[in-house]
Structure 1
Amino acid sequence: MAIPEQDAGENRRGAFIAPGYLAGFILVTSLFFLWALANNFNDILIRQFQKALDLNRAEAGFIQFVFYIGYFTMALPAGMVMRRFGYRAGILAGLGLYAVGALLFYPAAEIRVYAAFLAALFVIAAGAAFLETAANPYIVAFGHPSRAEQRLNFAQAFNGFGGFLAPIIGGVFIFSGIEHSKADIAAMPPAQQAAYRATEAQMVQGPYLVLAVLVVLIAIAVAMVRLPHIEPPGRASDAHGKRPSRFAILREPALAGAVTAQFFNIGAQVGVWSFFIDFVKEVTPTTPERTAAFLLSFSLALFMAGRFIGAALMQRIAATRLLTFFALAGVFLAALAALTGGWIAVGALTLTSLFMSIMFPTIFSLGVKDLGERAMLGAPLIVMAIIGGAVFPPMMGFISQAIGALQPVMLVPALCLAVVAFYATRAHRAAGRVETPPAASPLH
């Protein structure tokens, strides 16, 4: 990637944003916010679709399965599109897919077919995969290389803000505030029951239409705004003129360990957040859904804050040591949520997000920091490891359905975080006593 020639003088003085690119920087930063909304709306949909579509918890868990399968399958195609046509084209393709998926929620709500909603979510996920693949190189290219990490951390803060805001938006505009027990719904006459479910299904139409309009407006702006030139990645060859194999690089122990740890880390994150509202309703039955959604939002605010706290602590504490401590704290809190009761359990699960905060960026950085020019081959593999988010929520849903309770199932995220703790311990031993703070990376 390259910063435009005319800005070289300014960039030697350490420009945070190169002159003339402020509007482009704002637009690319907004992409971090957009895919956070898409990810975290799913936590609301899992609860909403149980009411609107008469799903059990295991069936609702497939929302995350389909969404993260979309991410997984589209990560490499997104990279190929950008290598062929450039990053602007990749961003526009991602925004187009995102808007189409959001628009598909309207007819899906009219026909109330679960498969139609899942198809719409897959399309949104495909768009988000394009956006996430493109955003980091663009943010890095907007100013002086010495301030790239600062720019990326700034952009990632908006990812955390989107995660914090999504449950509030969903709680206010998707949850109707009308709650009936399963017994009450079963006792309704068929016509009344159908009307209730139809009303609940249609609650998603307005928010997703607004989201589609917002995405289209951003796409129009991206098509018109001035953006820095970036050399497409992935064209480099080795000394023999051959392109290196993307998957052969998994022979690197640090990268292979990071891919494995990331799989379990994302599984823990998505597992906790997917069933957070159901968990609160189970252990404190009188808590309204909207209150549970606001608690989820607070938990995600802690997740956002944890990134800033972790970045500050890494100035004094080795990243691998801090990752070990955070992972062990997460294991303890998730287990506490599973084994205690009432507001102690809710508080423990809420705090778990704080300690999951640094995991994705730290694992990502540890996996690629010694790869040199091959980092662009290794990085997408770590991103693809987010398929853990497709595996664990359905698993947790099925276990919950089988045992008739959700609370004990929070031991699954505890076990996932134990794997992260094991990885962090081994990484710390491998690094020895000297370790530099890891570079910033995409947030989830």
Structure 2
Amino acid sequence: MSDLQRPHYRGALVIVTSIFFMWGFLTCLNDILIPHLKAVFALNYTQTMLIQFTFFGAYFVMSLPMGKLLARVGYKSAISLGLSIAAVGAVMFYPAARAPSYPLFLAALFVLASGITLLQVAANPYVSLLGPESSASSRLNLAQAFNSLGTTLAPHIGGGLILGAAVLGADQLASLGEAERLAYQSQQAHSVQLPYLVLAGVLALLALVVAAWKLPQFKERARDTSDSGSAGALEVLRHRHVRLGVIGIFVYVGAEVAIGSFLINYLSLPEIGGMRESDAATYVSYYWGGAMLGRFVGAALMRKIRPGLLLGLFALIAAGLTLTTMLSLGQLALWSVVLIGLFNSIMFPTIFTLGIAKLGPLTGKASSLLIMAIVGGAIIPLAQGAIADRVGLHHAFVLPLLCYLFIAYYGLRGSRVITPQPETATRA
């Protein structure tokens, strides 16, 4: 379309790409919050994983309402509103730390994630509209690369600001008197106030820029892509590659988030890395940085290898690395778990693309279901936390191992498009 090739869309793409960076940064900052709040509130692994359960649960709870909001206000206003909601969530970290209160931290995370959910629903398709259809995939890959840059930098910056001060172990914390314990918790919790207030300011500034900038609304396009009722969902789920693709997104996001969430605590174990939590945060940057690097490598490989096959191979390697870290100790266990990030890289966009393949007018409905499947980031880390509390963190990685094996199956066999038989549709 010629009207989508005007020069001012370059500015719009720059703004939206910066938003991809911000939500990647905010999402990965949870990996720093997890060991910090675990120590401050003396939580077990299951309780700590309520952080990711709350954050990614917002995707499931809020995605449909946010889709309806998008249809009502258009892309530009939805993006500005999403940034504003996320800014409110970031500000809520101040009273949560002042209390200090773990439930208030979870409430702040839910509001923050609700804003990011609206950004996810609006910004991904918006990028595809900011130029010719033929280069939509290229633009989205560029935006996602900046999202990965955010996830790479967050552990490094957040680790220095939030995990810089040494924290007491569970035994030391238990030995404190009630007044001393409350004073210690308050002091440690306050370390998150300044970083999140700064982030709130950046988000609010971005919201104002988006609102003031002459960006296209594409309001009619927003209405066209918002139809995701239950009847449409049932219709699209008759397609096998969509059903399995929804499961694929669920287990992929769950495995990726679970590994990132436990990485600092895992590397701090004496038999693995035996390092300080602030030092372990550097390896979290390597984990997410590998995903960023792998996207560029994967994009080049896909020119010669079909996406399903490459997805299957990457998933098998990730499964092998997961098994290696479970069966080894020291540096081998350390680097095998960190290297999983490199092979996570192509999984989300490839599963997503395979899941919406050859659906025609049902594409929008399938996309909505795949986005809702991001709730795997809430369920699987919580389940791994429960396993870790029973058998230890080292062997709790069996859950991501099973996830990667399913993804390998999906890439090699499950993603093949099989058209539903007409009589199946008639019976339904």
1:302–1:53: structure 2 CA closer, same or farther, 3 Å change rule? same
Between 1:105-114 and 1:87-96, the stretch displaced more is: 87-96
Task: Using the TM superposition, give the Cα deviation of residue 407 of structure 1 relative to its aligned residue in structure 2, in angstroms.
Answer: 0.5
Question: What is residue 265 of structure 1 aligned with on the other side?
Answer: 252
SS at match of 1:227: coil
Q: Which residue of structure 1 lines up, in the alignment, with residue 366 of structure 2?
A: 378
Residues 154-198 of structure 1: CA distance to partner in whole angstroms, max 9, x if unpaired?
111110000101101210111133133322333334433332221
Q: Which amino acid aligns with 2:282?
A: F
Q: Residue 236 of structure 1: CA displacement?
A: 7.9
Shift of 1:285: 5.6
Match of 1:173 among 142, 158, 161: 161
Name which of 241, 245, 251 aligns with 1:254: 241
How far, CA to CA, are the matches of 2:136 and 2:205 in structure 1?
27
Structure 2 CA distance, aligned partners of 1:325 and 1:158? 25
CA gap 1:429/1:237 in 2 versus in 1, 3 angstroms = closer
- Residue 202 in structure 1 maps to residue 190 in structure 2: yes
> How far did 1:73 drift?
1.1
Name the structure 2 match of 1:25: 13
Letter in 1 for 2:167: E
Residue 274 of structure 1 and its aligned partner are, at CA, apart by 0.7
8 Å CA contact retained: 1:259, 1:367: yes
Which amino acid letter does the alignment assign opposite residue 397 of structure 1? G
Name the SS of the counterpart of 1:369 in structure 2.
coil
- How many residues are aligned here? 415
Distance of 1:343 and 1:233 partners within structure 2: 49
Contact preservation (8 Å) 1:177, 1:289? no
Q: Distance in 2 between matches of 1:89 and 1:237?
A: 15
Please state whether the residue corresponding to 1:203 is helix, strand or coil. Answer: helix
Aligned-partner residue type, residue 232 of structure 1:
R
Aligned to 2:262: 275
How much does 1:244 deviate?
6.6
Aligned to 1:15: none
Residue among 111, 135, 138 paired with 2:126: 138
Supply the AA of the counterpart residue of 1:348: S
The answer to whether 1:99 aligns with 2:87 is: yes
Aligned equivalents of 2:416, 2:80: Cα separation in 1: 43
* SS at structure 2 position matched to 1:376: helix
Aligned Cα root-mean-square deviation (Å): 2.0
1:338 aligns with 2:326: yes
> After superposition, what is the alpha-carbon deviation per residue over 1:401-421, rounded to whole angstroms, capped at 9, x for unaligned?
122x20100111001111111
Equivalence map 1:8-407=2 (5 Å) = 11=5, 18-230=6-218, 231-235=220-224, 245-282=232-269, 283-284=271-272, 286-403=274-391, 405-407=392-394
Gap change, CA 1:193 and 1:3, over 3 Å in 2: farther
Contact 1:3 1:142 in 2 (8 A): no
CA contact (8 A) 2:241 2:416 kept: no
Matched to 2:40, the amino acid is: A
Tell me the distance in 2 between the aligned counterparts of 1:243 and 1:207.
Answer: 41
- CA offsets per residue over residues 323-347 of structure 1, 9 Å max, x none? 1100000111111111211111111
> What is the distance in 1 between the residues matched to 2:158 and 2:214?
34
Q: What fraction of aligned residue pairs are identical, expressed as a percent?
A: 39
Match of 1:420 in 2: 407
Alpha-carbon separation, structure 2, partners of 1:98 and 1:203: 20
Alignment CA distance shift 1:130-1:188 (3 Å): same
| Matching residue's letter, 1:102 | A
Distance (Å, rounded) in 2 between the aligned partners of 1:234 and 1:81: 10
Q: CA deviation at 1:430?
A: 5.4
**Cα offset for 1:373?**
2.5
Contact 2:273 2:334 in 1 (8 A): no
8 A Cα contact 2:273 2:330, kept in partner:
no
CA distance in 2, matches of 1:393, 1:90: 29
Does the aligned pair in 1 maintain the 2:49–2:385 contact within 8 Å? yes
Select 1:409's aligned residue among 386, 396, 402: 396
Secondary structure at 2:373 match in 1: helix
Instruction: For residue 19 of structure 1, give the secondary structure of its aligned residue in structure 2.
Output: coil
Superposed CA offset, 1:351-376 (max 9, x none): 01111111110000001121122211
> Does the Cα contact within 8 Å between 2:267 and 2:274 map onto a contact in 1?
no
Amino acid at match of 2:305: I
2:221 corresponds to which letter in structure 1?
P
Letter paired with 1:35: W
Q: TM-score, normalised by structure 1?
A: 0.89
What TM-score comes out, normalization by structure 2 length? 0.92
1:301-334 CA-partner distances (Å, limit 9, x unpaired): 0011111111100000111111110000011111
| Ranges in structure 1 where 5+ consecutive residues have no aligned partner | 12-17, 432-444
Which is further off, 119-128 or 29-38? 29-38
User: Is the alpha carbon distance of 1:105 and 1:99 closer, same or farther for their aligned partners in structure 2, counting shifts above 3 Å?
Assistant: same
Change (3 A) 1:155 1:198: same
